[in-house]
Structure 1
Amino acid sequence: MPLNKIAKINLDTTAYYQKLLNTNVKVYSNDKNTAVLEFPITRNNSPVPLSEVNEDVYITIITPDGYKKVDYLDFDDRLNGILSYTLPDDVLAHQGTHHAQVYIDVKGFKDIVVERKFTFTIEDDYINQIDADTKLSYIRMFDDLHAVIQQRVVDIELAIKNAADYVTQIENARDKAYEDITNLVNQTKQEIETIIDEYKTEILNTLNDSEKTIEERSEHYIQQAENAKTEVTQAINSAELVKESQVREMISDMETKTNASQKIDTAIDNLRKYIDDGDWQKSKLTTDLGSAIKVEKIDFDSFNASIKNTGLYYFVNGISGPKDISEGLLKYTKNSTQTDYEKPETSDGLIEIYPFNNSKEKYIAWVNNGVIKEWKKSNALNIDDDSISEEEINTLISNTKKELEKTIDNTFVDTGWINLTLINGAVTYASNTIPKIRMINMNGMKIIGLKGAVKGVEGKGSVGMAPKAIADAIGETRSFVQNTSIDNGTNFNRFSLTGNGEVRLDSSTLTTIKDTHWLPIDVTIMI
């Protein structure tokens, strides 16, 4: 299990006023891939189910120095509406109080829910504040060695505590072994502490020595600690003590006959319960050999008296059927709210009849409350028969068209124009310049188009987000240049379509970007 720092920030979806949520969340610059913000989304204090199938959920972060980050959130618990976001390195690089807000975009609609604003703090840690002239690698190496030695001392002490004898017959031998081990451990601990004190003194006196010399001395002391551990391990092994796990295993093997009998009875009861209540098919669709179930006599005017359940049947001596068919194959598909298969109810269903030795005809009828409606005849298409009906020709043409359309769909996919989700104050410049994105996939070659224009932007940063389905296909950031409003001469803007689907304004020749400026994004990109 990863050792993460998880900060839970509850976001209740409401239209009532919510002041800025100043959280007590504080992480450090070197919390790489471990600083996690967790967001339970609720409405009226009840969880709101969310999934990537129905929603795109993302977060906007504004750092203390004005840097803006927009990214997608992960779905941790879809049923309980719990989202999470691991703070990336480019956010951890900015120290101070960060402002953030979560957005929920409902797919297929123009609905966007904006959650409560909140803050969190990133603080610089001590290791980043060490003087550059200090030999940082040596200090880290010493700290690591010190931690290893201390851990080994703890391991030795735990080994002694866990070496307690659970078998009374060897009590005397246990006491003697424990005394020997204790003496050896005390002696070893003193030696290790002496070595650590000497090593600290030498490190302080030799900071300016070469890296090779320090590495050689470190290896020497590590080897001494390894030797001490080996001696203690050998002493424990030579004492021939019985470990706790061995005692527990012996006790487990002494299970009584009564307990075993009780387990067998419980297993039999569970099997009977599964047979009675289990979720398995209790009504046969065919015989045990896979053949159609034979019905010796059937009156289609009283259909439910002979056939009550879904299945494949072969009937003989049939009366009141279509075209007076007396023998053939019958397929019945039942549609009902039946809950007890032993008490069939009069219900709706679909009947299909194939007359005996006739592969060209099929009769279909619906059963409604036990009464068969009008029979419909369906002719099977036979390409060797010259007498093909007009209906059969139309069916052949329709099927051929569907196959061609399926082939085209497999080689050409077009999302059509989809509105971008505008963020950070960006709005549509005019009614005929709504920002949109489109992706066309032709045999693996993707073409992405952007069109429209925005305004309301007063600085660099993201202006819109592409739908997740398109964002996932981009893969890498692509930059493009656009003209913009004439202000003291001709000007240009540089935009980026990032790998996570952001449309971002990177730079501009405008001296000051005003909220009234025209910022077009018309471009076609091939991936």
Structure 2
Amino acid sequence: MSNLNKQAIINLENTAHYQPRSELNIAFSTADRDSAVFKFNVTKNNKPLLLSEQNVLGHIAFSHSDKSFVKTTLDFTEQDINGQFEVNVPNDILKRPGTVTMQVYVAEKGNSEVIVAERILTFKIEQSIISEISGETSLQYIIEFDELLEQVNQRMVAINDSIANAEDYVALINQAKEKGLSDIEIARSTSIQEINALVASKLEELETIGNQYSTKFDNDKDEMDSKKEAFDLAVKGSGLVTTSQSNGWQKVKITNDDGTTPLFSDFDFSNQDYALTKTPGTYYVRSGLNSSANGISSNYGYLTISKTYSSGSVAELVYRPIGTASLNNGEVYTCRKNGEWGSWVFIGVDPNKTETITGSQAKANTAESNAKTYARDLVDKKTTVLFDGTATGVGTTINLNETLDNFILLHFYGSFPGGLFNSTGNPFGTSRISLTPINLVDTDGNGGGIYEIGINKTTRTQLTIASDVFFDLGSLTGSGANANKCTITRIVGVRK
């Protein structure tokens, strides 16, 4: 993990008791690509919940306020079962500012029907200043566009005037033609050839003028298209946002223009509906009314207003006092409405309140002690002593305290000429269990023996020593049957 990563450590308690949706006091930037990290410590009844990739499959879901949704797998920090995991916030979520809601889903391996969804948490993503564009640059492009539009309009007026004049020329030529023909009929002194030559000359003049205007129109259109293309490229490169692109954006202000929290100086804790006249968001309450009458420690603090419908029939108020009496104790009060308002309820200490070194160390010590006790209890419950005594010699029976069907592994403890030994055995089936302790001469390893004890499963609750022999490594000879050199003193079973 890079030292530049922004890491947020979150404590999650696995419980069925109601836990409110937590608005984390955490904000990442749209520029925090591949560096925004959440690390989770999962506990249950103040004990680490023993989770790791060895026993669970985990996913975490991110839901952005712009309706985008991303799901990814959990990354456990270590191989140990310590209930810790971490996750990098996906870049598809980070690239847009807004509010993100996340929730953890965990399923036990080998028990696919058990799925647990941990509590819902939210955090912020803020716009990075390097992706913003100044108002001065935006205004410059707007002025250029207005100037271009004025030029285009002037060109269009000129083109329309030219076309209108061309229509007048056509009408005049037609009139002249009709008059010429009329003169021919009246005077009959002008030859038909001269009349046709005159008409042809006028028509040729008209065609020439028309071609000139057509060429000018085509040139003006090409120039207008070129300027429009240049303008479109300039707009795209500037980062300007069009009206259609911002159509679905959130339009409600959440702070004052200078970034400060809006003031709600006359809030009445006994008239919760008055809060619904305000735009949903967070306000600073100064000298609120009837706070003590509703069991609230201070009338100075921050009030968060949320409502589901425009009518305000379903709503929630969350109040965090910061008066002298409650400045650093992290108190949180809530009042909810579902048709009717309930009473103000003290819900405890703000989960975002900074932990002290002394308090966190005490919790860590408690968690460590609980974990050791839990692990020791788990081991004690997993093993059982099936035999404790002395069993020596071929034909000796060993009575067990429980049936072998309850166990997946047997631990044998005993002694032989080389000292003490311990070995494992398979409790399944009817096959013989063979224990083979080995001993070498301590001075130079030249000599010693290989020993073998064969144990039959007479019944599921009784074993019998069927053989006890050894092979002498110095003389390279066997002992023969019933050497009876080994003694079994204890058998411990590991439960299924």
**TM-score, normalised with respect to structure 2:** 0.31
State the structure with bigger RCO (CA 8 A, min sep 6), 1 or 2: 2
From the CA coordinates, give the structure whose radius of gyration is larger: 2
**TM-score, normalised with respect to structure 1:** 0.30
